[in-house]
Amino acid sequence: MQLSELTIHELTLLLQAGEVSSEEIVAAVFSRIDQIEGDIGAYITLCRDEALAQAKRADTILAAGEASPLCGIPLAVKDNISTTGVRTTCASQILKEYIPPFDATVVAKLKNVGAVIVGKTNLDEFGLGSSTESSQFHTTRNPWDLSRVPGGSSGGSAAAVAAREATFALGSDTGGSIRQPAALCGVVGLKPTYGLVSRYGLVPAAASMDHVGPITRDVRDAALVLQAIAGWDPQDPSSTRTQLPDYEGNLTGDITGLVIGLPREFINDVLDPEVKEAMFGAANVLESLGARVQEIALPHMEYAMATFYVIASAEISSSLACFDGVRLGSRAKDADDTVSMFTETRMQFGSEAKRRILVGTYVLHADHYMAYYEKAQQVRTLIREDLDRAFQECSLILGPTTPTAAFPFGHRLDTPLVMYQSDIYTCIANLAGIPALSVPCGYTDRGLPVGVQLMGRPFDEPTLLRVGHAYEQHACLPVRRPLMEVKTND
């Protein structure tokens, strides 16, 4: 039995029965990391000593018989989420030496229930990208094919979970950055409702659309992690007071009578035929379980991507303005004057961050504000209204998570608009703040994983997870593991 292969709920049974210890599980995960991390590159920072100390504490709690389901379970944290005493770089040279004096709320909650942080994962710089290629540290490779990207921006988190270098991970999602890499790496990714999970301690990109959520091996694990990290936080002004249901308890498998909408606008020219086939296969499974899948319309869907990038770039320009070498960030040395210091400091941003800062600054300029930013906010309202009308007809919306499976490195770096299309199906959930879940739904002829996306009404994560879990249990997908060969010391 390889402990690194098991899910949260499988490990929890073993831990609570006293058959294994957290120290053994963490050691198994670090053994896996030692074997393959050189090829995958999922992590920026590993926390070996801290993790082993946390595992010992978890074993003490487990011995007392009062442990939560996450106690002693190895966790990876995306490196734009603050961790006390462990550097948080956002994969940027401008923060390469930053060590936070505090934990993000989600990190504090997971520590409180005994989860064990094994390291901080790679990402596109400041979460700006769809392939993890804009990291200023190194590239992360997809465990299913080392010549292809893991998706982004939470590519390190998704790759770590898929490669069995962590049992679960935290990611952040501004336009699809949890769900898109989850789909490309063959794991589960959940973006909660805006306000359900605290963003305190997440380095912001676009504050009105940023979310923190779990990346896991299966839907039950996603429910367990959501239970631990959800809830009101007075330190996050967007946090919402809401009664938390029993997310795992709602995984009954019964989806009889549910109406699931399939937007006709999702079947467009950018959708790869193999992804389309896998998505319709998922729809057929759901119908066989008693749900009804029907076509719906989202008339303003065609404007979603443009709307998202205008608003997101504007907010990114604003949120990254503080990284100037005075308030935050690694200050450029030997500058001749203040202006040079500001300029040289901000030149440390990578090309994608600079592109979005420039676009955002342009659309916020007084001469362009009404034509771009204000107009985008108006279209955002129309998209929300489309979704509100759709949810009067159906309980959930079904669609592809990404237009294609994982693509080769460098394939889209010179064509930003093509790269941005990676978010074409995911960004509407961020614009509207609704929950969305990506679940593996098949493989391409090359053996690359494909994900299907479910979107739900605000705070209706129970239905979202129930349907995702029911599909997962009855999809009858072939049991496959990433094609990565494990190196040995022989």
Q: How far apart are CA 478 and CA 469, in angstroms?
A: 17
What letter would DSSP give residue 364? H
Tokens 């979460």, residue located: 127
Q: How far apart are CA 316 and CA 431, in angstroms?
A: 15
Under a CB-based contact definition with an 8 Å cutoff, are residues 200 and 105 in contact?
yes
Phi, psi values for residue 255, rounded to 5°:
-125, 20
Q: Are strands 259-263 and 168-173 parallel, antiparallel or unpaired?
A: unpaired
Identify the active-site residue in 4, 21, 78, 130: 78
* CA distance between the termini of the chain: 21
What letter would DSSP give residue 333? S
- Total Cβ atoms within 10 A of residue 72: 32
Q: How far apart are CA 116 and CA 52, in angstroms?
A: 8
Q: How far apart are CA 248 and CA 51, in angstroms?
A: 27
Identify the active-site residue in 177, 239, 317, 319: 177
Identify the active-site residue in 4, 68, 131, 153: 153
Catalytic residue check, 157: no
Under a CB-based contact definition with an 8 Å cutoff, are residues 438 and 481 in contact?
no
Residue in 3, 4, 34, 27 with CA at minimum distance from that of residue 487: 34
Q: How far is CA 126 from the centre of its chain?
A: 13
Catalytic residue check, 153: yes
Catalytic residue check, 177: yes
351-364 helix and 304-319 helix, angle to the nearest 10 degrees:
100
Q: If you compute the radius of gyration of the chain from its CA atoms, what whole number of angstroms results?
A: 21
What letter would DSSP give residue 114? T
Q: How far apart are CA 109 and CA 336, in angstroms?
A: 45
Reduce the DSSP state of residue 442 to 3 states and report it: strand
Cα dihedral: 197, 203, 208, 211 (round 10) = -30
Under a CB-based contact definition with an 8 Å cutoff, are residues 42 and 165 in contact?
yes
What are the distances in angstroms from CA 270 to CA 131, 275, 393, 420? Answer: 17, 10, 27, 12
Q: How far apart are CA 133 and CA 147, in angstroms?
A: 12
Q: Which positions are annotated as active-site residues?
A: 78, 153, 177
